Amino acid sequence: MCSQQCDCVEEELDLTLVKEILEGYEKKQKNLIPILQETQAEYGYLPQEVLKEVADYLGISFSQVYGVATFYSQFYLEPRGEYIIRVCMGTACHVRGAAKILDELEGELGIEDGGTTDDLLFTIESVACIGACGLAPVIMVNDDTHGRLTPEDVPEILAQYGE
């Protein structure tokens, strides 16, 4: 948040995309989740201004829309990185050092689990299981799987994605 003394101007969010999405739906509350899904696919997250547009269009309260957006883990209210790094914390990965991989990622990127780098390049999130136990410990960067990792592998992996 800016203080009153700063000279910065916040970028105004382009609501054209959400308005175009809304035109494809009847003004019925049953369309809320598909609208939020499609809107998030366009913006990468659900900005507050977008949630207000959706609420107004559907004729429901902002708090109802916000409640749905915060209830489901598929929705994000903050911008996320271009590259989502999912660190498997399942049993096999845990036993084989997933916590050390997570620590190394956090250190290299300067963010904690659940955080996003300031340049919006990376987001780290720990997950219960990726389903690649034979490769433990394993991470996924978007759709790319990296397995049998050591903390020393982390900088090289990040370099592949622009770090």
Topology of domain 83-160, CATH: Glutaredoxin (3.40.30)
**Average pLDDT, integer, range 147-156:** 98
Stretch(es) of the chain classified as CATH 1.10.10.1590: 16-71
Contact 75, 36 (CB under 8 A): yes
How confident is the model at residue 163, as a pLDDT?
Answer: 56
**Average pLDDT, integer, range 54-83:** 96
Backbone angles phi, psi at 144, to 5 degrees: -90, 130
Q: Is the dihedral of CA 52, 58, 62, 63 positive or negative?
A: negative
Q: Which two tokens stand for residue 32?
A: 């809320």
- In tens, the pLDDT along 90-111 reads 999 999 999 999 999 999 999 9
CATH, range 16-71: 1.10.10.1590
How confident is the model at residue 56, as a pLDDT?
Answer: 98
- In tens, the pLDDT along 106-131 reads 999 999 999 999 999 999 999 999 99
Residues 99, 118: Cα–Cα separation, whole Å: 23
For all residues of the chain together, what is the average pLDDT?
92
Residues 21, 63: Cα–Cα separation, whole Å: 21
Q: How confident is the model at residue 162 (pLDDT cuts 50, 70, 90)?
A: confident
How confident is the model at residue 6, as a pLDDT?
Answer: 32
Stretch(es) of the chain classified as CATH 3.40.30.10: 83-160
Q: Which two tokens stand for residue 132?
A: 């690649």
How confident is the model at residue 68, as a pLDDT?
Answer: 98
Residues 22, 141: Cα–Cα separation, whole Å: 31
